[in-house]
Amino acid sequence: MADSWSSPGLDVHLDWQPSTGRGGLTTAIRAAIREGRWQAGAAVPSTRSLAHDLGIARGTVTRVYADLAAEGYLHTAQGAPTRVATAGSLPQSAPRQAPREPAPRWDLRPGRPDLTAFPRQAWLTATRRALLRTPAAAFGYESELGAPELRETLAGYLARARGVVADPDRVVVCHGYSHAVAVLSRALHGLGVGEVAFENPSLGRYRSIAAAQGPRVVGVDVDEHGLDVSALDSPAVVVTAAHQYPTGVTLAPHRRAALARSGAWVLEDDYDGEFRFDRQRVGALQALAPERVVYAGTASKTLAPALRLAWLVLPRSLVEPVRAAMADSGSRPAVPDQLALAELIDSGAYDQHIRRSRAEYRTRRARLMAALPDSVRPQGIPAGLHLLLRLPPDGPSEATALAACRRRSIGIEGLTPYWMTPDRPGGLLVGYAATPKHAFAGAIQTLIEALWEITT
């Protein structure tokens, strides 16, 4: 049976039998490189340390390394450590990983903020202040509900900015919105909720997350007034009331009132409520029925998705079931990040960043709208980070439009995958936030060229 060997400085785990000698060692290292256990470009153990670890002569290892260097598996240089060859220079016999689809040159994918605008200095300052002020006890095993400092800050901020009825005891901090959907779905299923409705269309990944926790998932159609509440027959529903994703409509006042009176559990996904451009922002649905509506917010659009910071404001009767589901999930956002966000909000820097971003995204949306051909019909209120473009009924298909965009290396999405039922209208979801500011003009010009190609 082959032995598994390791060496200081690099985990090598060679399947090597000492009886096979130098040839066997060469084969074992070659296999480790081919299988990716010795990663491309990584420094390998020195001949002295590997020989000591394997209990063989240093000269044997030196000759093995020389053989593998001659074959192109290792790279040696005078005065520098020996390294595994880079992926592009490995011998053709070594298997290659499937190439990733290249990132688009022009990023117009929806639901993404401008990451180059992340307030690095403000975040660094907030992190430093939070760490200096926080007692050591805060870095222990924290409450399943999240850092008390952030929960208190969020309660005040959400009441002020979104009209949410909140207090710290009913706020829970989650490891991103996906985690929030999972723990709430699990908690509701534990309370006997066997079915959860989603808007049709909506993001499929969240439907899958909810279904994985036990409930059956069904769809309720969306029209120009938002979710058709009269068609809702489920004990729980997920809505994007302020700015429906992806159609961009707002849930009409009479339907908001009907939904609040429906008696269903409601998860209000307020994913981009800070970015309303042409009118007074619509307050949270949660204020109409705080003991039936769960409010969900996130820093993914205002700051960056990689922070994995989201929050729920719960009806009091759901606090303990969600706390238990959080404990079962075993997932928590990092406490230093929670404390930094609390400091960022308390200092006013968060509001300043949102105001700057709102002004920038408003300008971008206006530029996009002004450049669109007359044959393409935009849909949705002036808000958020994306625009839905309806194609002419007798014009090109969604697939044709996407192909024209791909030929120009435009990252964009179609509407079709969001539908839960077949034979629904197509369209293009254009995100105007993800592109860095300096590249936005080029991205829009390239998109307009693609649209002119297929509509004229």
Tell me what pLDDT residue 13 has.
Answer: 67
Whether the Cβ atoms of residue 231 and residue 220 lie closer than 8 Å to each other: yes
Coil, strand or helix at 275: coil
Tell me what pLDDT residue 101 has.
Answer: 66
The full set of domains in the chain, from first to last, is: 3-89 (1.10.10.10), 107-112+354-455 (3.90.1150.10), 118-351 (3.40.640.10)
pLDDT 10s digits, 131-155: 999 888 888 877 789 999 999 999 9
CA–CA gap between residue 296 and residue 177 (Å, rounded): 8
What's the burial of 335, exposed, middle or buried (CB within 10 Å: 0-12/13-18/19+)? buried
Per-residue pLDDT of the chain (456 residues; tens, 9 = 90+): 444 444 444 555 677 778 788 888 888 888 888 877 788 888 888 888 888 888 888 888 888 888 888 778 888 776 778 888 876 666 655 445 555 667 899 999 999 999 999 999 999 999 999 999 988 888 887 778 999 999 999 999 999 999 999 999 999 999 999 999 999 999 999 999 999 999 999 999 999 999 999 999 999 999 999 999 999 999 999 999 999 999 999 999 999 999 999 999 999 999 999 999 986 678 899 999 999 999 999 999 999 999 999 999 999 999 999 999 999 888 889 999 999 999 999 999 999 999 999 999 999 999 999 999 988 899 989 999 999 999 887 888 999 999 999 999 999 999 999 999 988 999 999 999 999 999 999 999 999 999 999 987
Closest CA to 96 of 35, 28, 14, 42: 35
CA–CA gap between residue 131 and residue 146 (Å, rounded): 16
Coil, strand or helix at 367: helix
Cβ partners under 8 Å of residue 164, min gap 6: 158, 284, 286, 287, 295, 313
CA–CA gap between residue 398 and residue 427 (Å, rounded): 6
Tell me what pLDDT residue 7 has.
Answer: 44
Closest CA to 218 of 200, 206, 239: 200
Tell me what pLDDT residue 389 has.
Answer: 96
Whether the Cβ atoms of residue 171 and residue 146 lie closer than 8 Å to each other: yes
CA–CA gap between residue 2 and residue 388 (Å, rounded): 59
